[in-house]
């Protein structure tokens, strides 16, 4: 086999093995894989303006909805450490009814956490991590939600690779907050600098895609 073919095969193998799935929900003292709408595989979504960006490509239905209190911790664990450089964010989407029956459409989403850039050298706080935890603001109203995590890999300039999972939760003992909400898709404009950036050039100012974090 020619050297070029061997190197090409090695590169493909490395790229595939570097992918990951956010497969476990952590909600308060509970962990659950059954509450996660598991993606079909670890391939990324490239079209951040299409409907697959909401909860991935035809994920498997979740079989449970986990109850958690407003103010509790919430997060995800991936099946491998994040190898690609790029931001991570966690969103909550307020279901119009039950989380299990909602596809995530509509202007119902708000961001509650993000893991953004570091500088000198330019990188991201999410790199080499596999667990991402935050806190549900205590002002979040009670009800059923989809909790969504995304990482946007920026290693292929102009072709972002998005790794996404959604899970079903029921928030109780909530507050009266009224966060500003966005639609997913629609939360990242086409060709937005945050996803088109060349991370191999010197970068001194980077804004994580999407809205500001709602802290309540």
Distance of CA 72 to the CA centre of its chain: 19
> Whole-angstrom Cα distance, residue 207 to residue 189?
13
| pTM metric for this prediction | 0.92
Contacts of 53 (CB under 8 A, 6+ apart): 45, 47, 150, 162, 164, 184, 185
Average pLDDT score over residue span 112-127: 97
16 phi/psi in degrees, rounded to 5: -65, -45
User: Closest Cα to residue 102, out of 180, 166, 159?
Assistant: 166
Q: pLDDT digit string (tens) for 9-23?
A: 333 334 444 599 999
Here the contacts of 190-197 (C-beta below 8 Å, separation 24 or greater) are 190/49, 194/87, 195/48, 195/152, 195/154, 195/160, 196/157, 196/158, 196/160, 197/154, 197/157
> Whole-angstrom Cα distance, residue 95 to residue 149?
16
Contact (CB, 8 A) for 25 and 72: no
CATH 2.70.50.70, applies to 22-195: yes
Q: What pLDDT shows up at residue 18?
A: 59
Q: Where are the domains positioned within the chain?
A: 22-195
Model confidence at 4: pLDDT above 70: no
Q: pLDDT digit string (tens) for 164-201?
A: 999 999 999 999 999 999 999 999 999 999 999 999 99
Average pLDDT score over residue span 33-46: 97
**pLDDT tier at 90, thresholds 50, 70, 90:** very high
User: Closest Cα to residue 144, out of 170, 164, 110, 165?
Assistant: 170
Q: What pLDDT shows up at residue 5?
A: 38
Average pLDDT score over residue span 42-61: 97
Q: What pLDDT shows up at residue 1?
A: 43
Return mean pLDDT, the chain.
93
**pLDDT tier at 48, thresholds 50, 70, 90:** very high
Contact (CB, 8 A) for 79 and 14: no
Bridging pattern class, strands 123-124 and 117-118: antiparallel
Residue 56: which H helix or E strand, with range?
A: none
Percent of the chain with pLDDT over 90: 92
Contact (CB, 8 A) for 164 and 187: no
Percent of the chain with pLDDT over 70: 92
């Amino acid at each position: 086999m020619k050297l070029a073919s061997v190197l090409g095969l090695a590169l493909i193998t490395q790229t595939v093995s570097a992918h990951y799935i956010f497969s476990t929900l952590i909600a308060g003292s509970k962990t659950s894989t059954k509450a996660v709408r598991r993606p079909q595989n670890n391939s990324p979504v490239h079209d951040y303006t299409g409907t697959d960006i909401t909860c991935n490509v035809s994920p498997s239905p979740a079989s449970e909805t986990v109850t958690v209190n407003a103010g509790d911790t919430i997060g995800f664990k991936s099946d491998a450490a994040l190898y690609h450089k790029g931001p991570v964010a966690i969103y909550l989407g307020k279901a119009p009814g039950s989380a299990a029956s909602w596809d995530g459409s509509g202007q119902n989403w708000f961001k509650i956490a993000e893991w953004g850039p570091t500088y000198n050298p330019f990188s991201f706080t999410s790199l080499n991590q596999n667990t991402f935890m935050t806190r549900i603001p205590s002002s979040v109203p009670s009800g059923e939600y989809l909790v969504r995590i995304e990482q946007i890999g920026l290693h292929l300039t102009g072709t972002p690779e998005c790794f996404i999972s959604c899970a079903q939760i029921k928030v109780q003992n909530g507050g009266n907050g009224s966060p500003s909400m966005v639609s997913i898709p629609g939360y990242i404009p086409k060709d937005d600098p945050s996803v088109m950036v060349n991370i191999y050039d010197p970068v001194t100012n980077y804004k994580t895609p999407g809205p500001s974090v709602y802290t309540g």
